[in-house]
Structure 1
Amino acid sequence: MPLFFLSYARIPGDRRTGPDPDRLVFDFYMKLRNRVAAHAQVPGAAAGFVELPGTAGEEVADALSHCRVFVPLYSKRYFTDPQCGRQWTAITRRSAAVPPPRIVPVLWTPYPAASVPEAVQETPAVPEAGGDAEESYAAMGLHQLLDLEESHALQVIDWLARRIVEIAPGGRAPGGLDSGSLARLPDAFATLPPSPPLRVTVLALSEERLPIGREPSRYGPSPLHWRPYGPVAGGPVAEQVRELARNLGFDPEVVSFDKALVELRGSGTPAAPWILIVDPWALQDAEIARRARAFDEAHRPWTAVLTALADDDPQTKEHSERLRGLLESAFPRYLREGRMGEQSAVRGLVTADAFALWFGELAESAYMRYLRYLRYIQPQSPPRSSERGRPPGLGADVLGTDQDGTEARP
């Protein structure tokens, strides 16, 4: 039975047509397992367990039942994943068993303190040496450290392995858990506040409206079928961001661009923060470009723009300068007034990983600006009982108009 069980939140994506989006998790697991095996002087198979794609549910339940150390990869996504919450329940319900399991959390990606469920009391420890590796781990988490500075990551991994071996209780943990009972366990993280809303609009072409010569393989019957990063990233971008938003703790809604414009130009309270995802090829259409400029002119604080400019698409890479020119023409205010990172997101993100990262960043920042806006226009009004699960102030038409009919803005 494994000495440790690695628990992680899976990243959405099509694993059949490209690299697994959780490849860094598995890379970390193998490095950790090898170091644990070396320090504990046990075979690799006895050192650790991680659920790989296609692993049978019985194997997962059996490993969870018998592991002596539970190693969760902490991130905001982890605390919103029901499967991770059920694994946490399984481990903590073993607390009366002999020997009890131990928990060694890993700081995978930084997360706000407010995202930590009440059930979680263990915080990730940081090595005490105080060198560059320890400081980088505490600041950026192990995910980014593996990607940017492998030598520092290996130092942290060796420290984690020693810690696992040192605190692992002796003996064999009791079993009794099967895949069926694991699936029926309650989610220990479900006591989090209800998910806040997030709206997403995809401004892209359909395969019937492509300009002459544009390769159609990344398009489909509607803009929602657009796949900017091709088979490597999996399915349509609309589905990917919906899953990303859920993993970030939002309640996402993918809506049409026309609906976005109506709300942005209206006088009512905004229903949710909004992210516009742009296919720069669509801006060659004069009508689409005009509507994009209208979105830019509204430039509400609770909105953000994210552009996919994939460098694995030969045509997009060849025409990148011209496409960036179209973006600059369509979104001058976002490029002029946004922060540096937000401007980069508008100008185009070349990889699927960068797109996923910036989607999370922009969703969080747009939501915080949305809450500040609501507090500004409605500081005294609590949410009605029918609006439970939505941020304070949501649902009341309190933003008025001036005498000339233009929208009154704070």
Structure 2
Amino acid sequence: MPLFFLSYARIPGSRRTGDDPDRLVFDFYEELAGLVAAHAGVERTAAGFVDRQGTRGEESVRALSGCRVFVPLYSKRYFTDPVCGRQWTAITRRALRTRAPRTVPVLWTPYPAASVPAAVQDVPEVPAEQEGPDDEEESYAAMGLHQLLDLEEGRARRITEWLALRIASAAATVPAGSAPGSLDRTALARLPDAFAAAPPRPPLRITVLAPYEDRLPIGREAARYGPGPLDWRPYGPVAGGPIAEQVTELARNLGFAPEVVEFDKVDLRGRDTPAAPWILVVDPWALGDPGTAARAKEFDDAHRPWTAVLTALADNDPQTKEHFDRLRGLVESVFPRSLREGRVGEQTAVRGLATADAFALWFGELAESANMRYLRYIQPQSSPRNTTAVKPPGVGVDEPGTDGGALEARP
């Protein structure tokens, strides 16, 4: 495996001998590879790799998967090249798993700061200025290595030597053969472009239906509640903060922009086009209040396809265990449509989830499912090609005997 992999954005143009627009890239690579080999004490052929015209794709992917140092040539073009973006994804994913390879970026041509994608954190360093008649270091910082190489042969020698030393030093910190990636050419082509502009995150509306300290059902202990409904902690302190904080984090991890509100503050009668998929998180203790139960049933009766209901029936709550049958009965009487029309997983979530892990799992599944239904609902009828959405894994799968952690019997 090579010590370093040189990543660059190809310039469109003729590839005839002597007319290669990327000639300076290869000239730089040849000199850099020789210097790295000398510093690292390896054969020149083992020092580095650069993808040239005619290079077999398998050879390039193998070098990318096994290199110890990744050397990108930064330029405005580089940050718009999808091949470079996929290479960046492959390298960063591998680095997350193995802490290798290291990255030594090169300032190839100047670029505006606004052109740098959010995925790019490494900034090209500039060597300290040396005494002497030349001002290579200052020129490198101002115009980039490409122009230095193009101005005069040998003008960028000191910068290249400095980069070679940094690459050799970085390579020495990575053990040989340290957990190379398992990419193949097809897998690389399927990787996302790390430089592509991320689409705006879709919103997700989350409503919490729960009592609070000043409005608890008679006899209900206050240990799992706070000053407001969003302070409710159905699974107790072992599960972390309030449920509102947990669902916010879960939604963000799924790529949504969550909006968490109290049940008493939502309009259940609105008939306008929905602005987002909607998740209702329910504490069955709140349904003992007739007014609250009536409003919750209104939510169920509205038949909004882009909604989902999750109920917390914690099995680590002694009071909930004691009143399990009554609480389950309240849920079934208030949400009959959701139970009747939902798939097995959705019915499980409505009837009650016993653990924080089960809640997190089904929250993710149903948030994705509600979003798919939302997207189908708002698609124009004139575009039938866009109305079929891909079902997320695990959503709507009818598996006999699976319950997702629901509390099925009184302990």
After TM superposition, the score normalised by the length of structure 2 is: 0.49
Larger radius of gyration: 2
Greater relative contact order structure (CA < 8 Å, 6+ sep)? 1
